[in-house]
Structure 1
Amino acid sequence: MDTKIALIGIIVEETEAVERVNQLLHVHSQYIVGRMGLPYREKGVNIISVVIDASENIISSLSGKLGMIQGISVKSVQAKVKQ
């Protein structure tokens, strides 16, 4: 399977959405290279960065599912070269 490296940036604006985000990330944990979460208390949001090594379909699917969660903003960027 051809895979790509991608960075998925998640901004959590509603804490009720955290459980669903963690659930989706757990389902895709076999593809996750690393994850970092930062609370930004002054603005009342949490920022999660996820590095993933997966096929383009899996990257798009995960980003899309995360984006459908209310209170979540998601953007992803993929490396230009396949690994």
Structure 2
Amino acid sequence: MHRVETRVALLGIIIENKDSIEKINSLLHEYREYIIGRMGIPYEKRKISVISIALDAPTDIVSALSGKIGRLPGVSTKAVYSKV
């Protein structure tokens, strides 16, 4: 049996367009098996939201999720990977 190698990663998301929030939540639900935890911070002063997602997943899964979220209107995302 071949086990797919996973890495711990942090996905940082900044949402400037609140219309994208429902789609982001749908995508996170779709990838829920890889999510270790999440923290969302609404920043009313600037009218944005900041979300951090901790994942344990193959790098192609993290890249796919980051890409799908990053293509949404008014959303920026960046993935950072652990070395282990």
Q: TM-score, normalization: structure 1?
A: 0.95
1:32 alignment partner in structure 2: 35
- 1:11 Cα deviation after fit: 0.5
Structure 1 ranges of 4+ moved more than 2 A: none
Q: TM-score, normalization: structure 2?
A: 0.94
Cα deviation, 1:53-72, whole Å, max 9, x if unaligned, reads 00011011101111110110
Task: List alignment gaps of at least 5 residues for structure 1.
Answer: none
Q: Distance in 1 between matches of 2:17 and 2:73?
A: 8
1:9 alignment partner in structure 2: 12
1:56 alignment partner in structure 2: 59
Number of matched pairs: 81
Between structure 1 and structure 2, the one with the greater Rg is 2
- 1:80 Cα deviation after fit: 1.3
Paired-residue identity, %? 46
RMSD across aligned positions (CA): 0.5
